[in-house]
Amino acid sequence: MNQLQQELKRRRTFAIISHPDAGKTTLTEKLLVLGGAIRTAGAVKSRKAEKFATSDWMELEKKRGISVTSSVMQFEYDGYKINILDTPGHQDFSEDTYRTLMAVDSVVMIIDAAKGVEPQTIKLFKVCRDRGIPIFTFINKLDRQGKEPLELFEEIEEVLGIESYPVNYPIGMGQAFRGVYDRQEHKIEWYNEKRERQVQALGEVDELSDILKDTVDDYTLSQLEENLMLLDEAGSSFDLEAVKAGKQTPVFFGSAISSFGVPTFLEHYLKLAPQPQPRQSSEGVVQPDDPNFSGFVFKIQANMNPAHRDRIAFLRICSGKFEKGMSVYLDRTGKQLKLAQPQQFFADSRELIDDAYPGDIVGLYDTGFYQIGDTVCGNKDTFNFGALPQFSPEHFAKVRAKNAMKQKHFLKGVSQLAQEGAIQVYKTQYEETILGVVGTLQFDVFVYRMQAEYGVDLDIEHMPHQVAKWIANRDDAEELRRNSNNLIVADYKDRPVIIFENDFSLRWFQQKHPKIELRDSSHNM
């Protein structure tokens, strides 16, 4: 086996998805603690605490206690190189999450044991299912009273339409929660009074009662034995091929806040999850062990280091070996670029690296070369991995700098934040700036970042409009500008866009102008 194949075998790249407050950031941190990447997890529940979640580097996230950007964290555990892409939990930032899901090989879905499958989880799950991404489920907060495990399995199968296989099963719940029983390894994991992890192997399930009789009440024990018997007789059998195809989800129970069940989950995940996978491109399937280097940019982030006002493009490596200083070709322009100062990340800290392999996420110093969705290739015969999803905005607002003397900083900030893909920017024929966003919280983040990172206070005027459509033919746009009252603007690439107040006004327009072609996004224009 050559070095590239060896490195592939030990790589695992995944994102964590969940509804807000299901425990995504907490689980991320406990995995980092396990990997020795950090000593203590941030107090993510307390917004006023001095310690904040390591994966939430932006001040606004620290103040609100939510994740609004996608972070990248890399660490080693038990010989594996793990890349975690922590995604925004809030639905207003689902576009960023969708793009991040394009860059992973598997997904960990967190479900709150008390609330079950929630709306945002359903939405993100569908994206994973459509792409056939393997999904591993972690049912969290077992140290609180929640739904019965069998009820949760039924919910996963009915609401999400995926078969579930419980790899482990909780011993009690809430105050009676004592640990988990591993159905595959036939062992019990629990924590004693000193919070020390205890693991004990069993010969058969029958031995459970002998081991647990002194620590678990009779009712909990009888329910555990009855449910395990039911799962063995009537439950799904484990099917690794179905897991790889995204048709069966291995389910794990635990409590991220207290680390119950987290080590078991990580150990199983690393054995079962896929290594970096082949990817479809414009020239056919690209194998990760192809020696020709390739990768794509799925995220751009300005001002990760406010002291340096830098801009980083996040590159997912898909094939070949990455080396510092290597020359590559950008498929969109055909131009040759030198990849200097490559970095790997740990939330807000990063270090320069010499090499990286498929599955790894590398940060490239960007002076404006890259756009989201760009493909880079190691030789002149370039190809691309296709466009990343772009959502049509649903909320619009006019923005301007309160202080006219700050106009230069205003234009720079708007331009850089638009290139990140966090907002969409339009210009009217009178040079007014209009923002379009998927969720209103994005306006708050934009206003905050313009002030914090560019020193610009904003006036923001919310608009009643809800729908944006791209006009396929520029001549049609000019004709409409001259002869209609519709709001026609230009996006940041100067492509014509028409903004409607609602679906009714869109339908009215289409009836009046049946020959004008409107598109949902700017792709292929």
Q: Would you say 86 is a known binding-site residue?
A: yes
What are the backbone angles phi and psi of residue 18, rounded to the nearest 5°? Answer: -175, 170
Which burial class, exposed, middle or buried, applies to 233 when counting CB atoms under 10 A from its CB (0-12, 13-18, 19+)? exposed
Report the 10 Å Cβ neighbour count for 69: 21
Spatial contact of 524 and 386, defined as CB atoms under 8 Å apart: no
User: What's the maximum distance between 2 C-alpha atoms anywhere in the chain?
Assistant: 85
d(CA 155, CA 281): 36
d(CA 15, CA 101): 7
The token pair that represents 374 in the structure block: 């760009």
d(CA 397, CA 423): 11
Spatial contact of 142 and 170, defined as CB atoms under 8 Å apart: yes
The enclosing H or E element of 130 equals: helix 119-131
279 bridge partner residues: 286
Spatial contact of 352 and 343, defined as CB atoms under 8 Å apart: yes
Q: Would you say 222 is a known binding-site residue?
A: no
DSSP letters for 238-278: P-HHHHHTTSEEEEEE-BTTTTBTHHHHHHHHHHHS--SPP
Which burial class, exposed, middle or buried, applies to 151 when counting CB atoms under 10 A from its CB (0-12, 13-18, 19+)? exposed
Q: Would you say 141 is a known binding-site residue?
A: yes
Q: Would you say 348 is a known binding-site residue?
A: no
Q: Would you say 18 is a known binding-site residue?
A: yes
The H-assigned helical ranges of 10-118 are 24-34, 59-64, 94-101
Q: Would you say 409 is a known binding-site residue?
A: no
d(CA 309, CA 409): 12
Cα–Cα–Cα angle for 474, 478, 483, nearest 5°?
145
Q: Which amino acid is at 97?
A: T
d(CA 318, CA 292): 10
d(CA 118, CA 132): 21
CA neighbor of 131 nearest in space, from 105, 94, 95: 105
Q: Would you say 88 is a known binding-site residue?
A: yes
Q: Would you say 523 is a known binding-site residue?
A: no
Q: Would you say 21 is a known binding-site residue?
A: yes
Q: Would you say 48 is a known binding-site residue?
A: no
CA neighbor of 325 nearest in space, from 284, 294, 290, 353: 353
Q: Would you say 140 is a known binding-site residue?
A: yes
Q: Would you say 514 is a known binding-site residue?
A: no
d(CA 433, CA 165): 51
Q: Would you say 24 is a known binding-site residue?
A: yes
Distances (CA, A) of 236 to 76, 165, 247, 507: 33, 6, 12, 48
Q: Would you say 19 is a known binding-site residue?
A: yes
Q: What is the DSSP letter of 3?
A: H
* Residue numbering of the annotated binding site for GTP: 18-25, 86-90, 140-143
Binding site as annotated, residues: 18-25, 86-90, 140-143
